[in-house]
Structure 1
């Protein structure tokens, strides 16, 4: 299954345990294929560089950039599609949709209500991490 993980899932998966971490582990195990774009990697580095992430990074003795490089090695980087604005309340969310479309993903996983409220964008279903694991029967 081809999947794009929204930045909120990736940050949570890199810094904490729980379902977002399982999304990353499932990709490491080859059960799903993860996809990302340069714009999403930049957003990830920005999110990981925020002050609230600093204690977790320090505890793990890792930098935001190192985590981004590790994620970029796990996920396949694609050139995002050009799309018309979709999420008017949060235009940054359009980058995730553009990546999912370009990568021909079946699923976009997120905890962002703006994306989850869409339920689907073209052929891409938008699921929580929990819904993704139900779909995968894991």
Structure 2
């Protein structure tokens, strides 16, 4: 009986891994970044797996390429991964254009991070726009304001 229980448990783990594949390296790197992040902040990173911090902030930023806010200078259109450690329960809506214009999508507080934006899309607005290297502004919003437009 014990052998059958062990066999079934092992089979269950194998099936879970097949149904929900995850890069251990990516999740470990972003998990570490999330645990080390300052509570209340939203972060964007220049590289996948939450490395190469571009900036972070507790507030909104209407232009990631200007000289004010948590994202500045050449930060616009460079994000490859995102991290949400907000404490308000709100989502963060990211936009392809400055001044909260263009296509957009959100990251929920419960999602914690997006380890790789490649292959993800900003689906709010007109059509669909790749998220990789395309974020120019962000703001904190109620999750309901995102509809069904969430990054993965």
- TM-score w.r.t. the length of structure 1 is 0.24
Structure with a larger share of its residues in strand: 2
Structure with a larger share of its residues in helix: 1
> Looking at both structures, which has the greater relative contact order when contacts are Cα pairs under 8 Å and sequence separation is at least 6?
1
